[in-house]
Structures are given as C-alpha cells and as structure tokens.
C-alpha cells in the first residue's frame, strides 16, 4: 500500500451520508508525473472522516488513473497528524471546524494558549471563554469532541482491519458507543451492521485478540449457523444439525461447551426451541423472528378458513350455469371443466390455490376468476412478490396490480402500514407467482388480510421454491385447508410450442425434443466445458441477433445453474461483459474486487423501497460519477443514483442464476448445461429456467447433463413446521 502525507488545502466535495470525499492536498513527497494540478496540489478521493483545510494527514492507498479526472490517490486509510507548531494549529482551527472561527479568531486563540491550544481543547475546554464568547467556545469544544470521537472510532476500526467505508457505516450506527461496544463484543457487528457477517466480525475479533472459545463467539456462531440455514430455505434447524453446523463453522471440538451455550441462548430467548416439531427425533430450533412468522401464519390461515364470508354466501346463490357461458370470450374460448372449477372454488372457498404449468391456461382462468368476483360485486386486489411479476400480472389481467410490499404500504422506517389493526379493505385477494413468497412475507400478508376475505394463490408449484425460507405454496397445498385446482390440459395453440411441450416433458422426467427444427423455438447446441463460454458469447452477440433480430442486451438472457466453474455465472458474466461492453474508453469503477463499467447490465439483488426497485429488477449503468460518489443506473426508464456503498445491491446481469430469474420472462433464454454443473442439476431448476422464455430457448451443453437434471427430481427438503402447525390447529 502506498502512503501519502500532506496538508489539506481544500475539501472539494464530501457526501455526508457515506463519507465519500474529494480533497486537494499539498503533498510533501514526490508524486507520479501529472498528479499535481497547476497549484501543485494532489487530488485524494475515498471514504474518510470529516477533515478540514489546514489539517495534516497521512493516507494509505494507491495511485489510480481516472478516465475523466486524471491521476488521483485513492485512500483506503486516513490518519490525522497533530498540527505542527502554532502556525499549523492556527491553520487547523480556521479550516472550517466551526462556523465563526476564521483566521483572525484562530490567531487570537493560539496567541493566548500557544502550543498548548490542542491540550486545552481536549482537557480544559471551559478555558476557551478566556478568549471566546461562551456560545462560540461551547460550539468549538463540541465540534472538537465530536470530531475526535469520530476519528478515534474510525482509526480504531481501521486498526482492526475494517475498511474506511465499513468503518464509516459502523460509526454511523453505533455513534459514541462504537469503541466500547466493539471492544466488549465484536461479534454483535454481525447482527447490527448490514454488510458485516459473522466471518468478518470474527476476523475483527481475532485482530483484537479475542479468544476462540469465548462464550460470545460461540453464541454468535450458533446464530450465524442458523441464519445460514434460513438462507438455504429452512425455517428452523433440527438441534443436532445446528450443533454440527456451528461446530464446523467455529472449528469447535468441545461439543459440551457449544451445547451449554445453546441452552443459554434458549433460556434468554435469543433462540427458540419447539418441542412439538421434530425431524428424526431432533427438536426444532428457530430464530425468534421465524418462529413468530410460522406460528402466526398457521394461526391466521386457520382463522381465515374458519371465518364465514358474505362472498361465499353470494356465490352459493349464483346461477353458475348462466354465468360460466357468459365468461366465454373470442380470445379465450370456452373454459374447461378444470378452469370452471377454479372459478367456483375461489368464490365459494376462503382459501384456494390455482397451479399448473405453461400453456395450461392460468392467465385465462385468472381473468375468469376476476370477472366472476366482479359479478358478485366483490372488491378485488391483485399482487405479486416482485415488481416484474406485478407488471406482468397487470398486463395479463387488464387490472391494476402491485407488489405485496406496496399493497401493504411498506416503508423502511415504519415497516408495514397494513396489519391486523389496519387491515386491507377488500373481499378477495389474488396473489400471483406464489411459489416465490417466503414465509416472512406470507406472514405479513396474512396479518393484513381481513378474516372474512378470500385468498387465491396462483403459481406453478413445480418451479423452484422461494429464495427466502419456507415452501409456502407447497405447504398450503399439503396442509388440507385450501381448495386446490391443478390445471393439466395444454391448449392447442401452446401444444405446438417447443418451449411449452418440452417444459411438460421435463416436468414429467422425459428427455426434451432436441431435433432443432428450423421453424422451432427450442434448440440444443452440443458443446463442452472448453468451448461453452465462447459458444454462449457467440450466440448472444452474433448468432441469435442475426437470425431472430434480437437485441443482445435487452432481449436475450443467459441463465446458468451455478456461480463457480469454467461455465459458471461469474465466468460467463466476465466474458459477456468483455464481449458486449468492452469499450475501454468507458468509465470503470472497482469496488470490493468487482468491476463496474458504464453500459453494464446490472441486477438489483434486494428490495430497495426508497428507490422503488426490487430484487431481480434489471437495468444498465448510465454513468459513473466520481465527484458525486456513485453510479447513475437506468431501470424501467427511470434514472436512479446509487452511491458507492450501495454497489453491493447490484450484480452483473449478463448471466444470472435460475433463482434470480423467477417471476421474469425474457424473449430468449440461453442456458448452458454441462455435467460440471452436477451439484445444481435438478429437474425443477431446468424446468424453471426454460419457462422464463417467451419466444426462444437455446441450451448449449451436453445431453448427459440434461439427463442428470431429469433424474434428479428430489425436491430440496426444507425444514418447515407450517403444515404440522396447521394440522395440529385443525385437530385441536
């Protein structure tokens, strides 16, 4: 790491929210050619504490060449040096520390206290009234104390190996308690600070010399192990599995010590044990928020099913023999018996599920359901887990639709506006893409649903389950409370589609038709691990645009089974970025080992309600602004600004995972499938990926890999107690 010392001549820019600064420095040492401006000053950029003109600093970092601003020093660490001599102290005090203290006032202070000025500020600030009026003396003392607190905290954190940006975030969250809180228990950072997981907190603790067998570490490791299992889709962990996972994570051989800490965590309600829910005789251990969500969801589903509704009573009096023919349209044709059953079930039963594969008429059925409900004078709301799915639902139904979060009035500061005390005002709620709903979101939805309302869940139960914990759609079908309609008839206009017919063949474990008919929409390209990246790049950049007139950036989506490996998502993103956006003249920003370039295709990876963007939304980096400290990203025609610290919300999206494609549709899908992907080759993963395509599917890979995926029909077992709770509630 290079070092740079000097005096701050000017603070050109500072973002108060993320600490990103641009400084002009009067550097003391030799600098690279072209680094100094006409005034002989060097530009320093980076996340750092607030500094003022006149301060002496030492930076650690590297020299960079910015395409727009030339040679700069990018600081990773910034250490203030004591002002040297009375002149240095005067320059420091007049540099903007407090409004009202300019050069003359600073000179008076230093003339009075001399070289002891900083000691007076630190140890006897009340003496400042000997020179200044009380209000100004108090302002100077408070500014000094706040600045010193911030600097000490940031320097302390950087000494423990924390980056400047992350140190800034920790200090913003913990304030004056930063140093004592981290010294007492550095592992709490994993729970309190977004972006610091257990492993990073554990590294900080090691740097501080904390013992590996500390009880605080074992407890944090247990919570982290359980949290990791929820990220894998489990709502709880069997006790034995949790202890085994935590022991491996912590490299802890003392099973008795770990079990004792688990018992303490249960007694303090940091974790929750449910004796009535077991897996192979092992009791269930929950994080408290997931235990509450599951028990509440089960209770509210039971209450929903038991509560009578005026809508059911009106549906019982309806002449269906007259209504059903009236719902037949020129576009949709006559409803099948399956579809008619779904209409009647939604109107007559409090809880219904509509499921089926592509081409089975879910959209037509949904339109019929809405028309039937409107005939019954019911107020109906439509929603979906993601913004993309909500837009598709609105287009398909001809009605307004929203995300679940928007329907419930979510805000980051206040949470969900709609709940049991402020329920939704409706008679029926239709939720599309229900396979994507995790248990937490389902729980919040049920809290806001009036007990007398009807709930229809629509989705393809054979697709991948939600990214978040739980298996809501499958559990609701299995619990016995819902009236379930599974559409199976494939309509003639869709039966001729290779995408639709092959999707159903895959779902039944049969090899798809790979005859590559010229007029078809489903193609297979035999390739291997050495050639697949070049083949994918060729398809996206040249072959498919030339043959089908597709826009390689906006109409073709590459979906891969896993991140690592020669044909993984990471390698494909790197190759596709170079092929489709490799102009070296475009601005580039390196953040956390990742490269972002103006023009890059990026995906939002978590819901951001302030920006009104959601997990899975795709956009393009329009510009990189070093002065403002962030990216300008275009999503759905809107220009959004992302600060550097928010870059962790974005991923390169030239190639994405199957899970991240859920709820979306693309004109064309390219899915490389090789035996090297064996760890992730599953039937429902292949099925989900190809059903994202509207017009074209191309699979570069091997027939052996397709066969491996077809044979692996073991739906990933997720530990969930929802069905058991519902059935116990019904039995009781």
Amino acid 494: pLDDT: 61
Q: For residue 366, which of 353, 350, 351, 379 has the smallest C-alpha distance?
A: 353
CB 125 within 8 Å of CB 109: no
Residue 540 phi, psi (nearest 5):
-75, -45
CATH 3.20.19.10 fits 510-711, yes or no: no
Q: How far apart are CA 520 and CA 518, in angstroms?
A: 5
Tell me, yes or no, if the two domains 292-489 and 510-711 fold the same way: yes
CATH 3.40.630.30 fits 292-489, yes or no: no
Q: What is the 3 state secondary structure string of 655-676? A: EEEHHHHCCCCEEEEECCECHH
| Domain boundaries, given as residue ranges, for the chain | 2-159, 182-272, 292-489, 510-711
CB 310 within 8 Å of CB 359: no
Number of Cβ within 10 Å of residue 186's Cβ equals 25
Amino acid 565: pLDDT: 86
Amino acid 14: pLDDT: 82
Amino acid 542: pLDDT: 96
CB 729 within 8 Å of CB 298: yes
CATH superfamily for domain 2-159: Nucleic acid-binding proteins (2.40.50.140)
Q: How far apart are CA 71 and CA 254, in angstroms?
A: 54
Low-confidence ranges of the chain (pLDDT < 70): 17-18, 95-97, 164, 328-333, 492-495, 518-519, 585, 715-716, 732
Amino acid 329: pLDDT: 59
Instruction: Encode pLDDT of 643-678 as tens digits.
Output: 887 888 899 999 999 988 988 889 999 999 999 887
Strands (E), 529-600: 556-560, 588-591, 594-597
Amino acid 523: pLDDT: 94
Strands, sheet with 666-670, edge to edge from the N-terminal-most edge strand: 522-526, 693-701, 666-670, 556-560, 655-657
pTM of the model as a whole? 0.81
Number of Cβ within 10 Å of residue 322's Cβ equals 8
CB 660 within 8 Å of CB 670: no
């Amino acid at each position: 790491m290079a070092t740079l010392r000097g005096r701050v001549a000017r603070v050109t820019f500072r973002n108060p929210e993320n600490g990103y600064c641009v400084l002009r420095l009067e550097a003391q040492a030799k600098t690279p050619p072209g680094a100094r401006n006409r005034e002989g000053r060097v530009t320093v950029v980076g996340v750092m504490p607030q500094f003022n003109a006149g301060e002496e600093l030492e930076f650690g970092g590297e020299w960079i060449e910015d395409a727009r601003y030339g040679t700069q020093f990018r600081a990773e660490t910034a250490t203030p040096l004591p002002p040297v001599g009375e002149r240095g102290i005067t320059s420091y005090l007049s540099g903007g520390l407090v409004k009202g203290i300019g050069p003359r006032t600073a000179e008076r202070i230093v003339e009075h206290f001399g070289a002891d000025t900083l000691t007076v500020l630190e140890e006897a600030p009340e003496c400042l009234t000997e020179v200044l009026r009380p209000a100004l003396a108090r302002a100077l003392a408070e500014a000094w104390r706040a600045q010193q607190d911030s600097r000490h905290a940031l320097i302390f954190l950087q000494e423990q190996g924390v980056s400047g940006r992350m140190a800034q975030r920790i200090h913003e969250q913990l304030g004056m308690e930063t140093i004592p809180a981290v010294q007492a228990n550095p592992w709490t950072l994993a729970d309190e600070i977004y972006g610091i997981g257990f492993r990073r907190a554990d590294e900080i603790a090691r740097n501080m010399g904390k013992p590996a067998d500390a009880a605080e570490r074992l407890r944090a490791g247990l919570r982290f192990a359980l949290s990791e299992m929820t990220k894998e889709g489990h709502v709880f962990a069997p006790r034995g599995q949790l202890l085994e996972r935590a022991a491996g994570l912590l490299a802890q051989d003392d099973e008795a010590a770990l079990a004792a800490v688990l018992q303490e965590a249960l007694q303090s309600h940091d974790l929750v044990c449910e004796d009535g829910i077991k897996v192979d005789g092992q009791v269930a251990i929950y994080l408290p928020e997931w235990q509450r969500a599951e028990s509440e969801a089960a209770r509210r589903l039971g209450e929903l099913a038991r509560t009578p509704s005026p809508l059911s009573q009106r549906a019982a009096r309806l002449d269906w023999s007259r209504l059903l023919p009236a719902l037949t349209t020129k576009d949709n044709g006559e409803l099948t018996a399956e579809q008619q059953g779904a209409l009647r079930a939604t109107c007559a039963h409090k809880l219904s599920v509509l499921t089926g594969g592509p081409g089975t008429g879910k959209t037509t059925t949904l339109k019929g359901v809405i028309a039937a409900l409107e005939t019954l004078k019911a107020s109906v709301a439509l929603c979906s887990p993601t913004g993309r799915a909500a837009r598709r639902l609105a287009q398909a139904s001809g009605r307004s639709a929203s995300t679940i979060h928007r329907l419930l009035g979510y805000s980051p500061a206040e949470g969900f506006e709609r709940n049991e005390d402020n329920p939704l005002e409706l008679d029926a709620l239709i939720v599309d893409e229900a396979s994507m709903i995790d248990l937490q979101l389902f729980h919040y939805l049920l809290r806001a649903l009036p007990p007398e309302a009807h709930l229809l869940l629509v989705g393809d139960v054979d697709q991948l389950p939600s990214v978040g914990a739980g298996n809501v759609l499958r559990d609701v079908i299995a619990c016995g409370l819902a009236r379930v309609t599974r559409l199976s008839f494939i309509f003639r206009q869709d039966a001729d589609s290779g995408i639709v017919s092959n999707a159903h063949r895959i779902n039944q474990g049969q090899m798809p038709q790979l005859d590559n008919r010229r007029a078809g929409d489903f193609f297979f390209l035999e390739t291997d691990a050495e050639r697949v990246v070049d083949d994918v790049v060729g398809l996206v950049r040249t072959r498919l645009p030339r043959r089908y007139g597709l826009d390689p950036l906006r109409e073709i989506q590459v979906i891969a089974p896993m991140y690592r490996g020669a044909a993984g998502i990471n390698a494909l993103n790197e190759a596709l970025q170079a092929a489709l956006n490799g102009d070296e003249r475009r601005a580039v920003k390196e953040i956390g080992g990742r490269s972002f370039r103006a023009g890059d295709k990026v995906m939002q990876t978590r819901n951001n309600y302030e920006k009104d963007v959601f997990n899975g939304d795709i956009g393009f980096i329009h510009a990189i602004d070093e002065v403002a400290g962030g990216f300008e990203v275009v999503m759905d025609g809107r220009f959004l600004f992302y600060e550097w610290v928010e870059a962790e919300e974005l991923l390169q999206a030239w190639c994405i995972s199957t899970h991240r494609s859920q709820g979306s549709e693309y004109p064309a899908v390219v899915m490389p499938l090789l035996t090297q992907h064996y760890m992730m080759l599953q039937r429902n993963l292949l099925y989900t990926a190809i059903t994202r395509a509207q017009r074209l599917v191309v699979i570069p890979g091997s027939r052996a890999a397709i066969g491996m995926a077809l044979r692996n029909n073991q739906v990933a077992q997720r530990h969930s107690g929802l069905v058991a709770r519902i059935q116990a509630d019904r039995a009781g």
